[in-house]
Amino acid sequence: MDLVLLGQRLRHQRRAKGLTLDDLSALVGRAPSQLSLIENGKREPKLSLLQAMASALDVPLQELLRAEPPSRRAALEIELAHFQESSVYAGLGLPSVRLGRRLPGDALESLIGLHRELSRVLAEQSATPEVARRANASLRAEMRSRDNYFSAVEEAAAGVLQSVRHSTGPLSQRGILDIAAQIGFSLHYVPDLPSSTRSVTDLRNRRIYLPQVASGKGHDPRAVVLQTLGHFVLGHNDPKDYGDFLRQRVEANYFAAALLMPEKFAVPFLAAAKADRALAIDDFRDAFGVSYETAAHRFTNLATHHFGIPVHFTRVHESGVVYKAYENDNVRFPTDVTGAIEGQPICRRWASRTVFQSEDPYSSFYQFTDTVAGTYWCTVHVESTRSGEFSVTVGTPYEHARWFRGGDTSRRTVSRCPDPSCCRRPPSSLVDTWAGHAWPSARVHSHLLAALPPGTFPGVDAQDVYEFLQRRA
């Protein structure tokens, strides 16, 4: 229970009835000082006393316990009280400002504004790479515990679809305009959107500005709109900290995917494919007209919850570094000390890397991989972007491969990672030839949250360097 809020509601009701603290004290048989502590949020009243006060004030008990501040002024006082109680404020060694009628409104507004700005600046500063990595790791743990299925977001998306009477198949641009209109926003495609933004929303005029991009370039423009609308539908406020920011982004992206590939249509589609033992991410993508990555990620939302198929998902750069990863099938990803996976090199024997050696990496690619955690089957797709090529992988334990097209592949590799002799160390013949005679300059993944992985050359794959030199020799 928020004691400050309760105190404000009590005081509001007492004053509305024209009672002084002494009057109320006489009615409930408690000292005025005790009631004052309660009104100031400094003491928690027993339920019996609360009931006595409610009947003395002639209001239902629920009225005192409501979650809304009784007035805007009260809301500001509650916010200030909470700021002043925080450990951050205590650490400043400043006096607490006394709340009450003697505090002028403009002083109150100004203090609140300064506190909010201080909180924002501190939150920004605290988002160090390590904090960011920990936030990522804890978010991943939460996604894993829910099998990456967010029922509240599914329900919100289903509610929106129903409100625009979308009844079948992929969501069109028209449907997206309807959704925006339903939520009370208009969409405006402009040529001069700041390049650091996906979209900008004018809250006063309920206008969403989006970039004028030709379809097929960069992000799916429908997804960008839906992600933005997702923040409003899901009731997101200014993120408290970096973890909150990440969670909101995950939820908004989930919301967009749940509209582009609605559960109501996606589940029957996948169920039919599973019955034919022909689950395929490409088919899922084609049926809903989304990107491969969106389809692969959406599959992880539904696979375990609806079909009992545990899965893993990765997006891996051609250099071997992980950009995104999720698992609930116990596959053992490489991690750093904070438990973060982003920025770590994936085993060279895993499908997300062997695909780059394939004769035709753009055609369907399937592989069984024996790992220290068991045998996994994976389906991989390679996409080219401005930052290079990426493999997008969906994998599942051996016994579930039979539900997928390509589940009978004869391609198989053996991975012994994290044993460093698996692939972390270059072959000794190459080391003998090149150690001490090579000097690569690392390409820094500055946008990655992770620190550079340790190695002979930080951030560089020694084997690739040696092999390159070997070819030129």
Taking CB under 5 A as the binding criterion, the range among 227-235, 244-252, 409-417, 461-469 that sits at the site for Zn ion is 409-417
Question: Taking the complex as a whole, how short is the minimal distance between the CB of residue 224 and Zn ion, in angstroms?
Answer: 37
Question: Taking the complex as a whole, how short is the minimal distance between the CB of residue 353 and Zn ion, in angstroms?
Answer: 9
Compute the distance between CA of residue 56 and CA of residue 53 in angstroms, rounded to an integer: 5
- Please give the distance of CA 312 from its chain centroid, rounded to a whole number: 17
Q: Which is nearer to Zn ion, 253 or 375 (by Cβ)? A: 375
Q: Which is nearer to Zn ion, 32 or 453 (by Cβ)? A: 453
Compute the distance between CA of residue 288 and CA of residue 304 in angstroms, rounded to an integer: 20
Q: Which is nearer to Zn ion, 161 or 423 (by Cβ)? A: 423
- Please give the distance of CA 304 from its chain centroid, rounded to a whole number: 19
Question: Taking the complex as a whole, how short is the minimal distance between the CB of residue 373 and Zn ion, in angstroms?
Answer: 13
- The answer for residues whose C-beta is within 8 angstroms of residue 415's C-beta and 6 or more apart is 347, 349, 350, 369, 370, 371, 372, 422, 423
Taking CB under 5 A as the binding criterion, the range among 120-128, 191-199, 322-330, 415-423 that sits at the site for Zn ion is 415-423
- The answer for residues whose C-beta is within 8 angstroms of residue 241's C-beta and 6 or more apart is 123, 126, 127, 135
Taking CB under 5 A as the binding criterion, the range among 54-62, 125-133, 239-247, 417-425 that sits at the site for Zn ion is 417-425
Name the residue among 465, 404, 386, 391 with its Cα closest to residue 433.
465
Binder among 4, 347, 351, 462 for Zn ion (CB under 5 A): 347
Q: Which is nearer to Zn ion, 11 or 317 (by Cβ)? A: 317
Q: Which is nearer to Zn ion, 225 or 378 (by Cβ)? A: 378
Question: Taking the complex as a whole, how short is the minimal distance between the CB of residue 344 and Zn ion, in angstroms?
Answer: 12
Is residue 422 part of the contact set for Zn ion (CB under 5 A)?
yes
Binder among 156, 225, 256, 423 for Zn ion (CB under 5 A): 423
Name the residue among 309, 318, 312 with its Cα closest to residue 379.
312
Is residue 351 part of the contact set for Zn ion (CB under 5 A)?
no
Q: Is the peptide bond before 454 cis (omega within 30 degrees of 0)?
A: no
**Between 215 and 244, how does the x/- string for binding to Zn ion read (CB under 5 A)?**
------------------------------
Question: Taking the complex as a whole, how short is the minimal distance between the CB of residue 346 and Zn ion, in angstroms?
Answer: 8
Binder among 417, 450, 460, 462 for Zn ion (CB under 5 A): 417
Question: Could you count the other beta carbons within 10 Å of the beta carbon of residue 155?
Answer: 12
Q: Which is nearer to Zn ion, 344 or 415 (by Cβ)? A: 415
Question: Could you count the other beta carbons within 10 Å of the beta carbon of residue 125?
Answer: 9
Contacts with Zn ion by CB under 5 A: the residue count is 5
Q: Taking a C-beta distance cutoff of 8 angstroms, is the pair 306, 268 a contact? A: no
- The answer for residues whose C-beta is within 8 angstroms of residue 110's C-beta and 6 or more apart is none
Q: Which is nearer to Zn ion, 315 or 349 (by Cβ)? A: 349
Name the residue among 348, 351, 328 with its Cα closest to residue 412.
351
Q: Which is nearer to Zn ion, 157 or 417 (by Cβ)? A: 417
Is residue 123 part of the contact set for Zn ion (CB under 5 A)?
no
Phi-psi region of 3 (alpha: psi -120 to 50; beta: other; left: phi over 0): alpha
Tokens at residue 434, please?
A: 């090149």
Taking CB under 5 A as the binding criterion, the range among 55-63, 75-83, 421-429, 451-459 that sits at the site for Zn ion is 421-429
Question: Taking the complex as a whole, how short is the minimal distance between the CB of residue 127 and Zn ion, in angstroms?
Answer: 32
| Binding interface with Zn ion (CB under 5 A) | 347, 415, 417, 422-423
